[in-house]
């Protein structure tokens, strides 16, 4: 049978082996054993159980992707020990995209997180988060902003769960709409007149900042609706 370079598989046809959860076990086992843990796999419902002296045992749930199922499993293991980790591959898309939020969620749940590279990818283990009691730091400023928006918003103009990309009715947008209605009816208006007629002390600032592009200055202190304002006013009035 002839042989030679012509029989080599094209590079595009050489696929990497499909990773399995078991590929994560040996690197993790070595990592834990280096810290003097005794490690065993598949002990009752636990993927990995590590024991050291009289300390609380360590449980690690292994998954190829970080999803709700493994989070629920890990939460269940908290009834066995406070030291529960989730172990996922180091090269993990969801961790690249949502790493900060995932770490925050697991911290709130009291869970740890371990990133594991299989032996074929170096076998490195990184402990990204240790389990522990979560004590959120409250932001007084953000709370005041939240309650302020609630208090200043007129009525309840939105549906919960609506697509925010299309815009939602905020207290600020309601104020801008009131100014736009006035200009629609009167053609133009001085900022001081609008502030007095609509009892809106921030009228001048809203017109000047023109966040939504609805206004245009005709002359110093005098405003009218912009072409965009003409187009969008009716859409928002229908939703109001």
CATH (residue range 15-129)? 3.40.50
Domain 168-239, CATH 1.10.10.10 — does that match?
yes
3-state secondary structure of 125: strand
What does the domain layout of the chain look like in residue ranges? 15-129, 168-239
Mean pLDDT on 16-32: 82
Using the predicted structure, report yes or no on whether residue 226 has a pLDDT greater than 90. Answer: yes
Least confident of 102-106, 163-167, 200-204: 163-167
pTM: 0.61
Identify the pLDDT of residue 83: 92
Residue 84 burial class via C-beta count within 10 angstroms: exposed 0-12, middle 13-18, buried 19 and up: buried
Question: Cα(110)–Cα(107) distance, rounded to whole angstroms?
Answer: 5
Q: How confident is the model at residue 12 (pLDDT cuts 50, 70, 90)?
A: very low
Q: Is 68:74 a contact under the CB 8 Å cutoff?
A: no
């Amino acid at each position: 049978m002839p042989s030679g370079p012509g029989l080599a598989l094209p590079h595009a046809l050489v696929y990497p082996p499909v990773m399995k959860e078991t590929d994560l076990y040996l690197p993790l086992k070595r990592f834990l054993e280096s810290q003097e843990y005794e490690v065993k796999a598949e002990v009752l419902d636990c993927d990995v159980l590590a024991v050291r002296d009289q300390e609380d045992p360590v449980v690690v749930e292994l998954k190829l992707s970080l999803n709700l199922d493994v989070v629920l499993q890990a939460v269940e293991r908290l009834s066995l020990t406070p030291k529960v980790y989730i172990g996922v591959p180091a090269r993990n898309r969801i961790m690249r995209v949502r790493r900060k939020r995932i770490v925050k969620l697991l911290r709130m749940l009291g869970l740890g997180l371990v990133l594991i590279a299989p032996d074929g990818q170096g076998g490195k283990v990184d402990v990204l988060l240790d389990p522990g009691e979560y004590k959120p730091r409250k932001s007084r400023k953000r709370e005041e902003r939240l309650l302020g928006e609630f208090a200043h918003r007129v009525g309840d103009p939105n549906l919960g769960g609506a697509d925010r990309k299309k815009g939602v009715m905020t207290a600020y947008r309601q104020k801008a709409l009131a100014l736009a209605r006035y200009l629609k009816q009167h053609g133009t208006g001085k900022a001081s007149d609008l502030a007095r007629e609509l009892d809106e002390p921030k009228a001048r600032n809203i017109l000047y900042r023109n966040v939504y592009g609805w206004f245009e200055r005709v002359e110093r202190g005098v405003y009218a609706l912009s072409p965009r304002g003409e187009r969008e006013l009716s859409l928002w009035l229908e939703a109001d």
